């Protein structure tokens, strides 16, 4: 798009400063410009046929941008060489994420949700420190106890439930005690036990028995069951039971009590500080009788050969200590934990009947709506995050807040569906599969098998099937999962694509992924992943995972997880790049197999979380001299009520069921959705393959096409553009022929010919170039009806010219393109004058800053601070350091401390001195009121000074 800042305004910026008014409306680009005169740039156009277009969320949405762009220029027959790029969500009027981004959305519902007696979540100690693998146990008496499944040690206890930070549905910062809660540190007393000098081996899982929780794991060869409870006098009891008599050592750490007066009184450890007293003791139980275990103060352990051990811990007023000692002394009760591992009374017996609304059979594929129990007695947040069916057609559906529900009544002739809660307390599950009759769920760092031990339609045993490491920061980054015919698991964890053969260790296939929630795998092991646009990820895309691939974000990893750093690795291309106007946030992939599902059976279906839509992914591995498949995206008609991420064929009716959700911001209308895509039997001529040549493109269809319109070149429209890998958030759409310009290159189709098979059409395009995006459009009448072509092909490699057609132009063009990657080698010319620097800075701002800070520099909650700040107004060298090396930590802005979850990335390796001088000058002139421009010499000096700085600066280091 053309710059909004006119040359007059640039000259004004060069000689004057902006007012210090923080509300001054300075626009850094991406507002409506001259190109807004095109009808396809207008948000009011192109809404016909979209059922949800009138919803508030979609009030500013740009529908079918590329398609309407093609239709306009086909009709105009203008042969304009450079066309406008996609103007961004909601026409770019409200910044990169649009008007309803939900980045600052706060939701308090998770705090009051009933998630049963146990809930796994990232534990937030404070803003900076988070712990993973924590099982929060909720006692009947109202306390929460935090147990670490990885170490089998307890962390803390407090009155009340875990509290979730409300930002973005509570998904961003984990859970922890309320700020006002009194927290008891359990770690000195309830740490990991040992047997024969060995600590915890594999953690097996936990059982739910009514409101009781029993954890199971191994130590050495012993199977351990344990439970934690609380006496009426507030004394905590940890019960440890083994499968046979073992010498158990339970350590205590008195170093953590160095400011307490500690002594032993008979078999008790008594610690005193002021009017506060700690009482601790241990008892061994055999044959139903308990006897005290004497503490070894020298070794810091209670040790006893026994089948069951109870540890006691109380902290409270000194006046109550005597009574607590008496109650511990008289305690001879020991519950059999093994009895609690056989299934207990159902906690959630209620069922819910939800209405099914069938669509009219007016297209080949229609979408039926199935009601979701948004209102339920437990306050369960129904953000649906996974689905699969058992052999009888009963669905198991996960929710992002930790539930799994059983849904019956789905299939032919359905009028209502019956929902029943099956499990809860899982850690942000995002994918579910039924294997050997049991649901397996991928959660943060684990795959959990849910076992119903007593056939009451509730899970009693949450079995840890497989564990993998994860960083306990932000929302989940464990996504998937899919299972092939050999029961091999495919999933994403953090920045890695993971594969785990059945009953064998898992391994990393590829790395460099950014928030890749979209996962899919065919029965034959074709592994697809969809990362989300952002830093070093120019657009959402479809990746075909190859062993050893690196995709640009973060460190490269070896198969066993060893980090290889972030520099010097070649970025592997995507199978297909997704235009931002088609999908801004990829949800998932599906390979539906069902004869009843019609022509889309056994095709690859892509799901859009961002837009609540779907598309077909065409794959072509017939290229010569390339070694990789190339893909094309074909949007499919229909809308979903939420962002769809998972789908599965129901064996009962052979149709595709999809789950959708809100949760990180999208065009969703509901928290969650369950919908069926149903094939009606109508004909659907389909594009099946796109193949690029040096002199044109071959389109192959599913059936023979007839009609004169197919062979008329002016019925086709083709445009191309590239993206750029960089530390900026996503990428603009760049001309290939003029790489410094934003926009699309329109190509001339010189001829169109139906080939001998009757199914293929060759479009002769002599000046076609290898490109990350090639949009091909055509809409014409054939003898069999209307056919529309609207596809987006990734053609980074072109085969040699197809014989019998025009020669390529230029004749010696390069047939395989390198990915456009922002390095020091891609650097603007030196901007000598201040006006030149401001003009160059404006373009750089749009490329690298506007995505997070917004077009008016107002910033985004939790994402990026405002630019109307003392940081921009202050010492220019500070700003240069931030741009060079990045920034993290709590930031004091205009006198107020603010917290941002993700650090600002460094741009020093991607921007030259002149570019940083230009962008700094632009920022200071626009938002800082600065009167002095920044020179490349200043940047060079600062770059030399900070060359040894490792990683982003802590904000406090720079702002003193």
For 375-398, what is each residue's pLDDT tens digit?
Answer: 999 999 999 999 999 999 999 999
Q: Which of 706, 672, 702 is nearest to 685 (CA)?
A: 702
Spatial distance between the Cα atoms of 691 and 797, rounded to a whole number of angstroms: 10
Number of residues written out for the chain: 960
pTM of the model: 0.92
Spatial distance between the Cα atoms of 657 and 677, rounded to a whole number of angstroms: 6
Q: What is the largest CA-CA distance in the chain?
A: 101
Q: Dihedral of the CA atoms 760, 764, 770, 774 (nearest 10)?
A: -70
Give yes or no for residue 16 having a pLDDT over 50: no
CB of 238 within 8 A of CB of 226?
A: yes
Spatial distance between the Cα atoms of 433 and 648, rounded to a whole number of angstroms: 10
Domain covering 687-795, topology = Immunoglobulin-like (2.60.40)
The conformation of residue 924, written as its DSSP 8-state character, comes to I
How does pLDDT run across 26-61, given as a tens digit for each residue? 333 333 335 568 999 999 999 999 999 999 999 999
Q: What are phi and psi of 420, to 5 degrees?
A: -140, 135
* DSSP-assigned beta bridge partners for residue 398: 386, 404
Rounded to 10 deg, the angle between the 913-923 and 936-945 helix axes is 110
Give yes or no for residue 672 having a pLDDT over 70: yes
Q: Which of 789, 791, 788, 769 is nearest to 721 (CA)?
A: 769
CB of 235 within 8 A of CB of 328?
A: yes
User: Yes or no: is domain 109-340 CATH 1.10.3470?
Assistant: no
How does pLDDT run across 871-899, given as a tens digit for each residue? 888 888 999 999 999 998 888 888 888 88
**Banded pLDDT at 144 (limits 50, 70, 90):** very high
User: Yes or no: is domain 7-37+823-958 CATH 1.10.760.10?
Assistant: yes
Question: Between residues 501 and 9, which one has the greater pLDDT?
Answer: 501
By DSSP bridging, strand 744-747 and strand 82-83 are: antiparallel
Give yes or no for residue 102 having a pLDDT over 90: no
Spatial distance between the Cα atoms of 931 and 921, rounded to a whole number of angstroms: 9
Rounded to 10 deg, the angle between the 936-945 and 876-885 helix axes is 60
Which pLDDT value is given to residue 746? 98
Spatial distance between the Cα atoms of 606 and 603, rounded to a whole number of angstroms: 10
Spatial distance between the Cα atoms of 79 and 365, rounded to a whole number of angstroms: 36
Which pLDDT value is given to residue 306? 95
User: Yes or no: is domain 363-405+475-679 CATH 2.120.10?
Assistant: yes
Q: What are phi and psi of 603, to 5 degrees?
A: -95, 170
How does pLDDT run across 522-532, given as a tens digit for each residue? 999 999 999 99
Domain ranges of the chain: 7-37+823-958, 46-80, 109-340, 363-405+475-679, 687-795
Percent of the chain topping pLDDT 90: 70
CB of 564 within 8 A of CB of 556?
A: yes
- What integer best gives the mean pLDDT of the chain? 90
**Banded pLDDT at 808 (limits 50, 70, 90):** very high
Which pLDDT value is given to residue 125? 66
Give yes or no for residue 825 having a pLDDT over 80: no
Spatial distance between the Cα atoms of 489 and 521, rounded to a whole number of angstroms: 9
- End-to-end CA distance of the chain: give it in Å, rounded: 40
**Banded pLDDT at 479 (limits 50, 70, 90):** very high
Compute the average pLDDT of residues 187-214. Answer: 94
Question: Between residues 204 and 33, which one has the greater pLDDT?
Answer: 204
Give yes or no for residue 231 having a pLDDT over 50: yes
Spatial distance between the Cα atoms of 565 and 75, rounded to a whole number of angstroms: 51
Is the bond preceding 944 in cis, omega lying within 30 degrees of 0?
Answer: no
How does pLDDT run across 420-472, given as a tens digit for each residue? 999 999 999 999 999 999 999 999 989 999 999 999 999 999 999 998 887 77
Spatial distance between the Cα atoms of 62 and 48, rounded to a whole number of angstroms: 12
The conformation of residue 14, written as its DSSP 8-state character, comes to H
By DSSP bridging, strand 887-888 and strand 953-954 are: parallel
Compute the average pLDDT of residues 671-676. Answer: 98
CB of 397 within 8 A of CB of 386?
A: yes
CB of 557 within 8 A of CB of 545?
A: no
Q: What long-range pairs does 23-28 form, CB within 8 A, spacing at least 24?
A: 23/868, 24/868, 25/856, 26/856, 26/857, 26/926, 26/927, 27/855, 27/856, 28/842, 28/845, 28/846, 28/849, 28/850, 28/855, 28/856, 28/857, 28/922, 28/926
Give yes or no for residue 15 having a pLDDT over 50: no
Q: Which of 426, 423, 428 is nearest to 458 (CA)?
A: 423
Which pLDDT value is given to residue 127? 61
Spatial distance between the Cα atoms of 645 and 480, rounded to a whole number of angstroms: 9
Which pLDDT value is given to residue 179? 86
Spatial distance between the Cα atoms of 376 and 418, rounded to a whole number of angstroms: 13
Most confident of 471-485, 640-654, 775-789: 640-654
Which of 547-551, 600-604, 919-923 has the least mean pLDDT?
A: 919-923
How does pLDDT run across 488-542, given as a tens digit for each residue? 999 999 999 999 999 899 999 999 999 999 999 999 999 999 999 999 999 999 9
SS3 876: helix
Q: What is the sign of the dihedral through the CA atoms of 121, 659, 51 and 31?
A: positive
Spatial distance between the Cα atoms of 616 and 633, rounded to a whole number of angstroms: 6
How big is the chain by its Cα radius of gyration, in Å? Answer: 31
CB of 451 within 8 A of CB of 464?
A: no
């Amino acid at each position: 798009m053309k710059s909004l800042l006119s040359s007059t305004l640039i000259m004004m910026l060069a000689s004057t400063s902006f007012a210090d008014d923080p509300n001054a409306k300075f626009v850094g680009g991406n507002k409506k410009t001259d190109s807004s005169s095109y009808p396809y740039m207008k948000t009011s156009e192109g809404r016909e046929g979209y059922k949800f277009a009138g919803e508030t969320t979609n009030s500013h949405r740009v529908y079918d941008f590329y398609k309407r762009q093609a239709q306009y220029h086909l009709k105009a027959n203008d042969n304009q060489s450079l066309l406008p790029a996609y103007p961004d969500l909601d026409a770019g009027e409200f910044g990169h994420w649009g008007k309803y981004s939900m980045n600052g959305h706060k939701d308090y519902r998770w705090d009051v949700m009933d998630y049963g007696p146990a809930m796994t979540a990232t534990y937030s100690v404070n803003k900076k420190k988070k712990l993973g693998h924590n099982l929060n146990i909720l006692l009947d008496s109202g306390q929460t106890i935090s147990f670490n499944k990885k170490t089998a040690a307890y962390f803390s206890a407090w009155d009340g439930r875990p509290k979730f930070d409300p930002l973005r549905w509570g998904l961003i910062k984990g859970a922890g005690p309320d700020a006002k809660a009194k927290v008891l540190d359990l770690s000195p007393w309830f740490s990991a036990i040992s047997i024969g000098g060995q600590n915890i081996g594999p953690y097996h899982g936990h059982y739910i028995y009514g409101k009781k929780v029993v954890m199971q794991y191994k130590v050495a060869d012993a199977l351990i069951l344990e439970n934690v409870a609380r006496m009426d006098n507030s004394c905590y009891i940890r019960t440890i039971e083994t499968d046979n008599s073992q010498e158990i050592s339970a350590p205590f750490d008195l170093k953590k009590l160095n400011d307490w007066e500690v002594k032993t009184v008979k078999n008790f450890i008594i610690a005193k500080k002021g009017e506060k007293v700690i009482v601790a003791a241990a008892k061994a139980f055999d044959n139903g009788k308990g006897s005290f275990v004497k503490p070894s103060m020298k070794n810091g352990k209670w040790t006893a050969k026994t089948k069951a051990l109870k540890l006691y811990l109380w902290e409270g007023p000194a006046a109550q200590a005597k009574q607590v000692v008496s109650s511990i002394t008289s305690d001879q009760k020991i519950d059999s934990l093994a009895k609690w591992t056989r299934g207990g009374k159902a906690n959630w017996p209620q069922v819910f009947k939800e209405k099914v609304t069938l669509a009219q059979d007016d297209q080949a594929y229609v979408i039926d709506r199935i009601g979701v129990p948004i209102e339920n007695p437990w306050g369960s947040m129904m953000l649906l995050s996974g689905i699969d069916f058992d052999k009888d057609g009963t669905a198991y559906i996960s929710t992002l807040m930790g539930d799994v529900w059983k849904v019956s009544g789905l299939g032919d002739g359905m009028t209502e569906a019956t929902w029943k809660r099956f499990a809860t307390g899982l850690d942000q599950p995002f994918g579910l599969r039924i294997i050997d009759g049991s649901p397996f769920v991928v959660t943060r760092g684990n795959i959990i098998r849910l076992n119903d031990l007593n056939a009451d339609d509730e899970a009693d045993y949450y079995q840890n099937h497989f564990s993998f490491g994860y960083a306990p920061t932000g929302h989940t980054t464990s996504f998937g999962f899919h299972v092939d015919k050999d029961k091999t698991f495919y999933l994403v964890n953090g920045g890695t694509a993971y594969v785990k053969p059945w009953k064998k260790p898992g391994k990393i296939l590829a790395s460099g992924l950014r928030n890749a929630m979209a996962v899919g795998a065919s029965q034959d092991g074709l592994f697809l992943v969809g990362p989300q646009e952002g830093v070093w990820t120019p657009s959402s895309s479809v990746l075909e995972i190859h062993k050893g691939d690196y995709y640009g974000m973060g460190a490269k990893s070896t198969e066993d997880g060893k980090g290889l750093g972030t520099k010097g690795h070649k970025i592997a291309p995507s199978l297909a790049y997704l235009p931002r106007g088609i999908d801004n946030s990829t949800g998932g992939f599906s390979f539906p197999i069902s004869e009843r599902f019609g022509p889309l059976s056994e095709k690859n279906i892509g799901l859009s979380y961002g837009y609540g839509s779907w598309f077909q992914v065409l794959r072509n591995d017939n290229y010569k001299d390339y070694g990789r498949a190339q893909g094309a995206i074909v949007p499919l008609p229909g809308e979903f009520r939420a962002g769809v991420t998972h789908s599965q064929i129901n064996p009962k009716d052979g149709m595709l069921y999809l789950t959708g959700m809100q949760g990180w911001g999208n065009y969703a209308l509901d928290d969650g959705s369950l919908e069926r895509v149903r094939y009606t039997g109508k004909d659907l001529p389909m594009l099946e393959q796109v193949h690029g040549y040096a002199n044109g493109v071959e389109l192959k269809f599913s059936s023979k096409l007839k009609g004169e319109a197919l062979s008329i070149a002016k019925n086709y429209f083709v445009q191309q553009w590239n993206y750029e890998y960089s530390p900026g958030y996503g990428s603009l759409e760049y001309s290939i022929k003029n790489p410094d310009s934003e926009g699309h290159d329109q190509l001339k189709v010189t001829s169109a010919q139906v080939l001998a098979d009757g199914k293929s059409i060759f479009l002769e395009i002599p000046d076609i170039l290898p490109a990350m995006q090639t949009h091909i459009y055509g809409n014409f009448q054939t003898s069999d009806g209307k056919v529309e072509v609207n596809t987006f092909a990734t053609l980074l490699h072109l085969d040699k010219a197809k014989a019998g057609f025009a020669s390529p132009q230029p004749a010696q063009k390069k047939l395989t393109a390198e990915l456009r990657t922002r390095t020091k080698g891609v650097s603007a010319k030196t901007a000598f004058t201040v006006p030149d620097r401001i003009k160059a800075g404006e373009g750089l701002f749009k490329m690298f800053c506007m995505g997070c800070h917004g077009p008016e520099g107002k910033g985004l909650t939790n994402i990026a601070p405002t630019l109307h700040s003392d940081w921009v107004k202050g010492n220019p060298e500070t700003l240069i350091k931030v741009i060079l090396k990045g920034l993290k930590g709590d930031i004091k802005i205009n006198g107020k401390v603010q917290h941002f979850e993700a650090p600002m990335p460094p741009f020093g390796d991607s921007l030259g001195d002149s570019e940083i001088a230009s962008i700094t000058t632009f920022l200071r002139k626009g938002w800082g009121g600065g009167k002095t421009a920044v020179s490349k010499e200043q940047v060079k000096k600062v770059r030399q000074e900070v060359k040894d700085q490792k990683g982003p600066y802590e904000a406090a280091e720079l702002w003193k």
